[in-house]
Amino acid sequence: MSHHPTRRPEILSFGEAMTMFVAETPGELAAVEWFQRRIAGADTNVAIGLARLDFRVGWLSRVGDDGFGTFIRRTLEAEGVDCRFLRTDSERPTGLVFKERAVGGIDPNVTYYRQGSAASCLAPSDADSVEFSGLRHLHATGIPPALSPSARELSWQIMEKARIAAATISFDPNLRPSLWPSEAEMRDTLNELAAKADWVLPGLAEGRLLTGQHSPEAIADFYLARGSTAVMIKLGPEGSYYRGRVGGNLESFTAPGIPVAEVVDTVGAGDGYAVGVISALLDGRSPREAVHRGNLIGSLAIQVVGDMEGLPTRERLAALEAALPAI
């Protein structure tokens, strides 16, 4: 993929990328001797997925001045992600994550070493050099606001500036309850951030926890009433639910999931879904096509061990979409 360092990114994503070690064999971490090194982070999964589809994507974050930070930077640049907003922090380390090898499609156990990491100290000043006027889209998640008060402040500021610049904004709550002081603080903060977004993409369980509503329709209405244009709710194997006003009129529907022969690792499915929905809407596709593409790319993500290895190129996506039954 060609790099255009002179051309500004049209999409911005921000948060924490970590170096991930995935167990080579199933079983508890205590017993595992061999690991494969990968990159992890919901926000970078989406950045990589959109870059593979030929969008110009910028990544805003911090890494440590260490081999793991260098690995993250090289990996992202090799994927065509613009790292001009990725700072190296000489005081703090790059976050690490260790993941068990799950069997039979269950969610794998994950152990994080991210407290005090370079990215946890992200602050509003990290966005000083971003020219929001040229930005077409911002993808935000609930992870940066969970990392620290200063990273939360950065989230507010970036979303506010993107709104003023009239960029579209997507928001995936990506709940990480263990990083928050309380569930109530997590709920209130993320609902306020979601109200700044055009497209809100919770999972069904996340939506229930955040809104106190039960049905997909009521969860969607909670966010639509607060100013969002569309809500896409991930329903796992059942597919996803859409309710919104992209294109003007309010419409609602459920798009069935894409059957998968074998679920290898569920991590990254929601990020793949976000890549599909965002790319299709930026391509000018209908909400129905966008949600179908989200389901499709989400289904690819769960068939590989890594979080982002299953994300397709534009060419592969076109071939896969052509092979699907017409919607």
Q: Which residues are catalytic?
A: 271
What are the φ and ψ backbone dihedral angles of 99, each rounded to 5 degrees?
-125, 130
- Count of other CB atoms within 10 angstroms of residue 14: 28
Instruction: Determine contact, residues 282/294, Cβ cutoff 8 Å.
Output: no
Looking at the DSSP assignment, which residues form a beta bridge with residue 82? 58
- Count of other CB atoms within 10 angstroms of residue 312: 21
DSSP H helices, the chain, are 42-52, 67-78, 144-147, 149-164, 183-194, 204-211, 216-224, 269-282, 287-301, 314-323
CA–CA gap between residue 176 and residue 179 (Å, rounded): 6
Sheet holding 230-234, edge to edge: 82-89, 57-64, 11-14, 137-141, 168-172, 199-200, 230-234, 240-244, 251-255
Sorted by sequence, the CB contacts under 8 Å of residue 57 that are 6+ apart come out as 9, 10, 11, 12, 13, 47, 50, 51, 80, 81, 82
CA–CA gap between residue 177 and residue 90 (Å, rounded): 29
Give the dihedral sign, CA 282/285/291/293: negative
| Residue 226 buriedness (CB in 10 A; 0-12 / 13-18 / 19+) | middle
Two tokens at 108? 């794998």
Sorted by sequence, the CB contacts under 8 Å of residue 105 that are 6+ apart come out as 262, 263, 264, 266, 302
